[in-house]
A and B are shown apart, each in its own frame.
Chain A
């Protein structure tokens, strides 16, 4: 038996098919979910993929947050179902307040596409168990609204509770993908909820699962193998 991982498509979602491919590459079954459909079709976990849902008009993720499918996702996430938000999916999760903080325009105001070095800060979440704490991975980053902000109190809380899941690694040359790419506070690239089942991050693990494609690295595969192992062991 393998796990069923749902991948939501909102109008304007772009990375849904790539995410399904990554789910399959890890050995799980990918189940397409449609934004108008409240039914999650018995999936064991959900990924909200990247893209420009509703054109990112108003604010990234602001409109899709109100989709019917999100009602169920929210409910299930609160009940412990693993949910991963990648890029636009992360923005949706902050708009729903399932994850704290907000995502703003990059400090340099440009869309930025590059191979980005991350440090795994929390290897205990549902989606990061296959990584080691402190491990550096390299996966593609591509967004214009990727600057993570939250008030000081929230940031302190996230740190204190170990809920910063990923930070932009800054200990090396920019040419190798080091550095904070957008002015995110405390170099935060991804965070998790208290229970560790909901994770959001800006860079794209689903674009780093095949040696042939994109950057040629497979550092992103761990997200999908982590969840598979967790679900299959349950």
Chain B
């Protein structure tokens, strides 16, 4: 039984020390306001053998939150480890700040995608900006130089007034932060759907590069080693919830509630990056951790938990921006642009010197001990004494109930095949034009032109190419490619298949540019885990993704879960965003998407079936979502990728573009507009023109083949059993489908490029 209010809570201006907590076991504590469940509070008392102090309660409450502890999701996420395919390239797997992959020549690459959804709805600019800042620090903490960012985004209906507020703010925030850091933005996604109204998704990905020997891990070992906090001063940002505690234990002269939103300082982060890389070069750190969610609580407990000993921290040495902060607030503060390093005593001076060089504030705040406790002091008095693992790694685990929703059958039965189709070539033409100009299919240049894609001078491919590609070695031309994909409509129709389709698409995109897919990171955006239907979607999607990763041989190296993306009863479409990283030995061999040479032959690779469920056509023309998503054939995806990679390496193709939303015709529109060249097409025998153009069958791509390479290319496809159909030729300045319609490129361009500026410009 929990003690009820037998004794008075600590009076104002009394520091709630460990000693005080021991002496006042019955004091009332606001555990419920802090989001803890009764049994969780009881477990904390059991772990400590007494009631927690205010500071301890603050730490447990935030570290055991859904966001930090993954309590609803971890029983499902563990499949990513259990089903992980054998993969020699994986150097660091799930569990660290980000996974690390071997890409050859002594290089390792780390990448991860994370969400900053809710803050971006409240304050679009700062929410998105600090999302970029956070993921960049994760990558930096692995020892890598960040080399590129990407931004998968979801917004409400394109014409909804609030989208006009959220989208420009988010885009300006991502650009404002990333541009100022000097990280090229090489890709991302922008999808509109009314289901994201009130719950926009702002996911951010960062890629970093290092040499194998530079990999750093987040752990504190070696008694006597110093704990150094460096970067920005700590202020009252992002501690909204914890002010409950502060107001109970301290005087009430300060604002009742601290803001939950943080403001980023990309300039400070740029200094932090350069300073940290210089520190790495001189091998000055034994362990390192970025400060993100849960601030110092998270950094100190994770470092100590992963290390061998304990840790002692003098909290009053933390440099503050606001001297009125309470110790609880300092522990919780999510002030941006901070890092925490473990440094051997004889290296501390040099460490501080480098920080000074870069105008970065650095302070020794504690040291690693040979004990087993995390101990935190405030002006000499102990306010925290906990086993760090209990805070960081042994939080609660929920087995939330899940059940296939009743409406799922009806949704799947509502087949898109029954929707009225265009009756003739004219109608087909009108629908092609409409699709090309629909918000989801339209050019995103208005957005991506606000991102610097050239900085660092290594960008080989960037949006709107199928994947972003950066060179990582100037001598050998070794490079990496990354693509992110996710289709909430498919996933709503069938979460298992939808997640696999997201992976398949990202995998295909990487291969389309000529890179070999190696590894996966994912951001799982879902509604409330307390809804069994949502939990079922989550369970199915993770199972689908884990199974598919196993088949494709691409391990999940890390990622992020974002739950509670819902307004009232209405959850967003289940939206797993999957990022695939690939390697290319020689970036001069990359394959762009543009049709650039008249006379080249256009081949369609893969099989086209009648698959319209969840398609862009069904959405744009009929505002319909129903039926089943396209089938997944992972073996076919693998074969297609092999062909695309071989053809690129051996110079058999000059352009390739993967087929996804909008089907063949959308891919053709994009390749034509990108290269400023038209194409003349013939509908293959036995295919309905409408199905040929609009079906979204997976496992397909189009390629442009120089005539001199045609035989070699078709022989290769034939020998390996990949269907390759010659569908036309690059030619003229219109998209012509013989016997159906002709669409001048200029008309297409106007439709394709005018939409987004017209909506939000």
Contact = CB atoms under 8 A, between A and B. Distances in A.
Interface string A105-117: 0000011111000
Nearest to A204: B454
Contact of A52 (B266, B449, B588): B266
Nearest to A54: B267
User: Which of B265, B270, B450, B455 has most A Cβ within 10 Å?
Assistant: B455
Give me the 5 closest cross-chain CB pairs, A-B, nearest first. A55-B267, A14-B182, A18-B457, A52-B180, A207-B454
Interface in A192-234: 204, 206-207, 210, 212-215
B449 A114 contact: yes
A150 to B, nearest CB: 26
Given A12-B270, A175-B749, A112 B457 contact: no
B457 A111 contact: no
A213 B182 contact: no
B733 interface: no
Given A52-B180, A212-B471, A213-B460, A142 B454 contact: yes
Interface in A51-94: 51-52, 54-57
A11 B267 contact: yes
A179 B175 CA distance: 23
A111 B176 contact: yes
B450 A55 contact: no
Nearest to B457: A18
A52 B181 CA distance: 8
A112 B445 CA distance: 10
Interface of A: 11-12, 14-15, 17-18, 21-22, 51-52, 54-57, 110-114, 140, 142, 144, 175, 204, 206-207, 210, 212-215
B596 to A, nearest CB: 11
Nearest to B474: A21
Nearest to A13: B182
Contact of B451 (A17, A113, A215): A113
15 contacts: A17-B456, A18-B456, A21-B474, A54-B267, A55-B270, A110-B172, A111-B176, A111-B179, A113-B448, A113-B449, A113-B451, A142-B179, A175-B749, A213-B460, A214-B457
B180 A56 contact: yes
A114 B462 CA distance: 12
Given A12-B180, A213-B471, 15 more contacts: A12-B271, A14-B181, A15-B457, A17-B456, A22-B457, A52-B180, A54-B267, A55-B180, A111-B175, A113-B450, A113-B452, A113-B454, A210-B457, A214-B457, A214-B459
Nearest to B590: A212
B745 to A, nearest CB: 11
Nearest to A18: B457
Contact of B455 (A55, A142, A144): A142
Nearest to B592: A216
A21 B358 contact: no
Interface in B394-420: none
Nearest to A207: B454
Contacts of A22: 457
Interface size range on B against A: 20 to 34
B349 interface: no
Given A52-B266, A142-B455, A204-B454, A11 B271 contact: yes
Contacts of B474: 21
Given A111-B176, A111-B179, A212-B471, A17 B452 contact: no
Contacts of B266: 52, 55
Contact of B458 (A14, A54, A213): A213
Nearest to A53: B267
Contacts of B460: 212-213
Interface string B263-284: 0011110110000000000000
A230 B206 CA distance: 42
Interface string B357-369: 0110000000000
Interface in B419-462: 448-460
B464 to A, nearest CB: 13
Contacts of A210: 457
Contact of B457 (A11, A52, A110, A213): A213
User: Which of B172, B268, B456, B457 has most A Cβ within 10 Å?
Assistant: B457
User: Which of A17, A111, A140 has most B Cβ within 10 Å?
Assistant: A111
B450 A11 contact: no
A140 B265 contact: no
B182 A111 contact: no
B455 A18 contact: yes
B587 interface: yes
A140 B182 contact: no
Contacts of A175: 749
Given A110-B172, A207-B457, A52 B749 contact: no
A51 to B, nearest CB: 6
A133 B270 CA distance: 39
User: Which of A142, A175, A206 has most B Cβ within 10 Å?
Assistant: A142
B588 A57 contact: no
Given A11-B359, A142-B179, A212-B587, A55 B265 contact: yes
A97 B501 CA distance: 57
A175 B266 CA distance: 31
Nearest to B178: A111
Nearest to B587: A212
B323 to A, nearest CB: 24
B153 to A, nearest CB: 16
A12 B179 contact: no
B267 A57 contact: yes
Interface string B157-179: 00000000000000010011001
B450 A51 contact: no
B455 A213 contact: no
Nearest to B176: A111
B607 to A, nearest CB: 34
User: Which of A114, A175, A204, A214 has most B Cβ within 10 Å?
Assistant: A214
A51 B449 contact: no
Contacts of B175: 111
B454 A214 contact: yes
